[in-house]
Amino acid sequence: MPTDEFIVTPWHVEGEIDYDKLIKRFGTEKISKQLLTRIEKLTGDLHFMLRRGIFFSHRDLNAVLNEYEKGNKFFLYTGRGPSGHTHIGHLVPWVFAKWLQDKFGTNMYFQLTDDEKFFSKQNLSLEETKQFAFENALDFIALGFKPENTKIIIDTENIKTLYPIAAQVAKKINFSNTKAVFGFSNDTNIGMIFYTALQSAPCFIEDRPVLIPLGVDQDPHFRLTRDVAPKIGKQKPALIHNIMIPALQGPGGKMSASDDNGTVYTTDPPEVVKKKINKYAFSGGQPDIEEHRKKGGNPDIDVSYQYLRIFFEPDDNKLKKIYDDYKSGKMLTGELKAILIEKINGFLKIHQEKREKARNQLSKFLLENS
Ligand code: TRP
């Protein structure tokens, strides 16, 4: 693959992503300064993920805000394909969704697609993906969502609710549409071919506009949903996209839940986190201390720095100091990693406690089929 090439699809991310190019390729809109100002006016403050361009692109965000200002509330929807335990990268859109929910006072739906991961992964049984769905749900609940305004959808459990909507959508997508978007071939199983209809269904679960915070790799599904919406008398879903979270081993590719060493799981104990970061986190530092002191490191490609920027250091001043010190050579790679390890373990200690408490709450969050 040429170095300037990259692939972003829901099932395959590869290469170093140029996000401006991706915006053009996908036909989305960059989040502009004006849009940030508009959000800040409505919410009172800007989440650091917006300030830092972690959420960088959107579709029709202005339209949902227009409706909101007229008193027509939107609801939120996002999801997760339960192919393994949750890793810290998954939490990015969920934490941001919680912020949106608090600021805009909305309902929230979280879809766990046990069917999708059964269809797309050779080595997983439906029992396993369903088990992971329940485990992943705990991480979601642990972020502070409340059962009064938040519902968790599990595809194989909630099919009775989803199917009538999915059927409306499915009738308006033909095989050449999905093939054009996903590159399916004759040996793709037909579960995959139908699947977009199921991921679309929660968009229309309430009769009001929806906003979907999501990893940009999921955009292709909703491009189809947006084409279908007017054909079934519905509004197009609005989207707000986050960048892909890099794997520990480095820029290019996203964190994959199926690669143990490339991933920090929310269930990892502190020693494991320490070992993974020290051993695997790609470093933007120089080969030896002397050279590092002289030339400085490169925070822009350093995965430990990127994790601080993306999730673990919300304080802009502290982050800037780390950036400057690392770049000047004052801070060594080992010191940078130590900061990250402490941040992750501090977060996980609390998260893991909340995650265990969530087990008793789970049933209150599960959507009941009507
Ligand atoms: N397909 C997504 C995944 O593999 C899961 C998902 C379902 C989702 N519905 C969603 C993601 C809505 C974002 C928004 O992770």
Work out the average pLDDT over 223-248.
96
Residue 66 maps to which CATH number? 3.40.50.620
Answer yes or no: do 277 and 177 share one domain.
no
- The rounded Å distance from CA 308 to ligand 1 centre is 24
- The rounded Å distance from CA 235 to ligand 1 centre is 19
The pLDDT of residue 262 is 83
Is residue 41 in some structural domain? yes
Of the candidates 32, 38, 36, 44, the residue with the CA atom closest to the CA atom of residue 103: 44
- The rounded Å distance from CA 317 to ligand 1 centre is 33
- Is the per-residue pLDDT at 155 higher than 60? yes
Q: What DSSP character marks residue 265?
A: B
Is residue 362 in some structural domain? no
pLDDT band at 255 (very low <50, low <70, confident <90, very high): low
Residue 280 maps to which CATH number? 1.10.240.10
Answer yes or no: do 104 and 213 share one domain.
yes
Nearest alpha carbon, ligand 1 atom 5: 80
- The rounded Å distance from CA 364 to ligand 1 centre is 22
- The rounded Å distance from CA 199 to ligand 1 centre is 7
- Is the per-residue pLDDT at 268 higher than 60? yes
Is residue 364 in some structural domain? no
Residues 300-359: tens digit of each pLDDT: 999 999 999 999 999 999 999 999 999 999 999 999 999 999 999 999 999 999 999 999
Is residue 2 in some structural domain? no
pLDDT band at 226 (very low <50, low <70, confident <90, very high): very high
Examine the fold and report which residue of 197, 225, 248 is the final residue of a domain before the chain moves on: 248
- The rounded Å distance from CA 178 to ligand 1 centre is 16
Nearest alpha carbon, ligand 1 atom 11: 79
Of the candidates 275, 288, 286, 291, the residue with the CA atom closest to the CA atom of residue 337: 275
Answer yes or no: do 141 and 218 share one domain.
yes
Answer yes or no: do 75 and 183 share one domain.
yes
Answer yes or no: do 201 and 330 share one domain.
no
Residues 27-58: tens digit of each pLDDT: 999 999 999 999 999 999 999 999 999 999 99
Pocket of ligand 1 from Cβ distances under 6 Å: 10, 78-81, 111, 113, 116, 199, 212, 214, 218
Instruction: Name the residue range of residue 69's domain.
Output: 7-248
pTM summary value: 0.96
Answer yes or no: do 19 and 162 share one domain.
yes
Nearest alpha carbon, ligand 1 atom 8: 79
Is residue 323 within 8 Å of 331, Cβ to Cβ?
A: no
Answer yes or no: do 187 and 139 share one domain.
yes
C-alpha span between 64 and 34 (Å, rounded):
15
The pLDDT of residue 31 is 98
Residues 111-150: tens digit of each pLDDT: 999 999 999 999 999 999 999 999 999 999 999 999 999 9
**Number of domains forming the structure of the chain:** 2
Mutate to test the pocket of ligand 1, among 113, 169, 223, 240 (most ligand atoms within 8 A of CB): 113
Name the 3-class secondary structure at 148.
coil
The pLDDT of residue 76 is 98
- Is the per-residue pLDDT at 110 higher than 60? yes
C-alpha span between 193 and 182 (Å, rounded):
9
Answer yes or no: do 243 and 322 share one domain.
no
The pLDDT of residue 15 is 87
Answer yes or no: do 310 and 193 share one domain.
no
The pLDDT of residue 260 is 75
Answer yes or no: do 75 and 131 share one domain.
yes
Examine the fold and report which residue of 248, 283, 311 is the final residue of a domain before the chain moves on: 248
- Is the per-residue pLDDT at 251 higher than 90? no
Of the candidates 56, 65, 59, 73, the residue with the CA atom closest to the CA atom of residue 38: 65
- Is the per-residue pLDDT at 3 higher than 60? no
C-alpha span between 25 and 30 (Å, rounded):
12
Is residue 208 in some structural domain? yes
Is residue 244 in some structural domain? yes
Examine the fold and report which residue of 183, 215, 248 is the final residue of a domain before the chain moves on: 248
Answer yes or no: do 227 and 306 share one domain.
no
Is residue 172 in some structural domain? yes
The pLDDT of residue 351 is 98
Q: How many Cβ atoms sit within 10 Å of the Cβ of residue 35?
A: 17
Ligand 1 atom closest to the Cα of residue 83 is 4
Ligand 1 atom closest to the Cα of residue 215 is 13
Is residue 103 in some structural domain? yes
Answer yes or no: do 219 and 287 share one domain.
no
